[in-house]
Amino acid sequence: MLSNQTLTILIILGVLMALTGLFLSSFTAVEDSDFLFRIGLWLIEVAGMFLLLRNGTFLKTRYSRIVMGLLAFTLIGVAFMVMHWPYGTFLLIGGCIGIVISYGIHFFKKPIKKRLDYLKLAWVAVLYIGAVLRLYHLIPRDYRILTTVLMILAVMDYMLPKIKNKTLFE
């Protein structure tokens, strides 16, 4: 598994890529410069997710196994949809909604809830419910910026106290 230092470097690289892409798309006529912006945001979100999972308690609970099963269910639904087989949409939607419900139950059973826990719950809900709404073209693709903003806030909420105490890479 990747170390905290590696994941932090990937997040910083994602921020630099996103800012470079934003600068290029705003101030130049470079074709497909928003590609760099989107890749940077994706890198922030994925590295942030692994950083929070690695340092959190979710993987130690039974809900993580339920979510892993539902994630497999969701991926099978995606494969069914790609192959144009029946029930693909049902599998995909069932998996996404199941992940949100399972993570929500895990959240509500936690005895102590911090701001970071609320941000992670919001990220999971917006990501998976947004995916279902996007599947039916009820919201535009731009909703994904909200998931990235939530992840950036969650990573900042996790990192700032660790940076202050100089314990981020331990």
* Model confidence pLDDT, tens digit, residues 112-126: 999 999 999 999 999
61 with 132, same domain: the answer is yes
Q: Which domain holds residue 131?
A: 57-139
68 with 133, same domain: the answer is yes
Model pLDDT, residue 107 = 94
Residues of the chain with pLDDT under 50: none
Residue ranges in 4-61 assigned as alpha helix (H): 4-27, 34-55
85 with 118, same domain: the answer is yes
The pTM of the full predicted model, rounded to 2 decimals, is 0.87
72 with 34, same domain: the answer is no
123 with 67, same domain: the answer is yes
80 with 123, same domain: the answer is yes
100 with 154, same domain: the answer is no
124 with 62, same domain: the answer is yes
Q: In whole angstroms, what is the distance from residue 47 CA to residue 154 CA?
A: 12
44 with 20, same domain: the answer is yes
As for how many domains the chain has, the answer is: 2
Q: In whole angstroms, what is the distance from residue 36 CA to residue 85 CA?
A: 34
